[in-house]
A = this chain, B = another copy of it.
Amino acid sequence: MKLLVFAASHRPESFNRKLAAAAANYIRSKSVDVDFAEYAEFDMPLFKDNHEKPEATFTFAKRASAADGIIISSPEYNWSYPGSLKNIIDWTSRINPNPIKAKTVLLMSASTGARGGILGIDHLKTPFEALQTHLFNRVFPLGNCQQAFDENNTLIPKQRDMLHSILDDYVTFTGKLSNI
């Protein structure tokens, strides 16, 4: 099994990147193949439906297509998902056949606020439904994230155990669905 993992944030010190890295490390330890991407690798100009697809569209499509599932840790902006992340989805949706159809998707969000980015996660589900991915039945909204990592960027035990439990189940879920 192979999983594509990335954070929808450009800052190196981003909490979402730390969360994505924590997830990647754990599933690697379970002998799952991980393709960890930097968000900048998927930078695309604004979608314009009368323009040609930029190269990064195919970069994203190939890496997503080569994986059985996609784990995204995304910040919430203005009670919804980042425009830049939807921009990736908008370009990708113009590739035929749909490169992410039937891939599993696990959504996470780190936020310094109490809500853990739950509204961003809720909105982000819909375009992934439109593209017929299999959304995992649990999500990981990490609130007050500035208190959730220790000085080694390791999640504190309570949050870590929750994350590992979700990842274990997500890997099982992806294994079951990887051929349909």
Within 8 Å of chain B (Cβ to Cβ): is A38? no
Q: Report whether A177 and B180 are in contact in the complex, using a CB–CB cutoff of 8 Å.
A: no
Within 8 Å of chain B (Cβ to Cβ): is A43? yes
Q: Report whether B78 and A82 are in contact in the complex, using a CB–CB cutoff of 8 Å.
A: no
- From the candidates B43, B134, B143, name the one contacting A46 in the complex (CB within 8 A): B43
- Across the interface, which residues of B come within 8 angstroms of A118, CB to CB? 115, 118-119
- Across the interface, which residues of B come within 8 angstroms of A177, CB to CB? 173, 176-177
Chain B's nearest CB lies how many Å from the CB of A43? 6
Q: Report whether B137 and A135 are in contact in the complex, using a CB–CB cutoff of 8 Å.
A: yes
Q: Which of A10-60 contact B (CB under 8 A)?
A: 10-11, 43-44, 46-51
Q: Report whether A78 and B89 are in contact in the complex, using a CB–CB cutoff of 8 Å.
A: yes
Q: Report whether A126 and B130 are in contact in the complex, using a CB–CB cutoff of 8 Å.
A: no
Interface residues on chain A, size class? 35 or more
- Check A137/B134 contact, CB under 8 A, given A46-B87, A122-B126: yes
Mask of A113-124 contacts with B, CB within 8 angstroms, 1/0? 011101100110
Closest Cβ neighbor of A42 among chain B residues: B46
Q: Which of A99-119 contact B (CB under 8 A)?
A: 102, 114-116, 118-119
What are 9 sample pairs from A and B whose C-beta atoms fall under 8 A apart? A47-B77, A47-B84, A79-B127, A79-B129, A79-B130, A82-B90, A83-B89, A172-B180, A176-B177
Binding site for B on A (CB under 8 A): 9-11, 43-44, 46-51, 77-90, 93, 102, 114-116, 118-119, 122-123, 125-127, 129-135, 137-139, 143-144, 169, 172-173, 176-177, 180
Closest 5 CB pairs of A and B: A83-B86, A83-B87, A79-B130, A78-B127, A114-B114
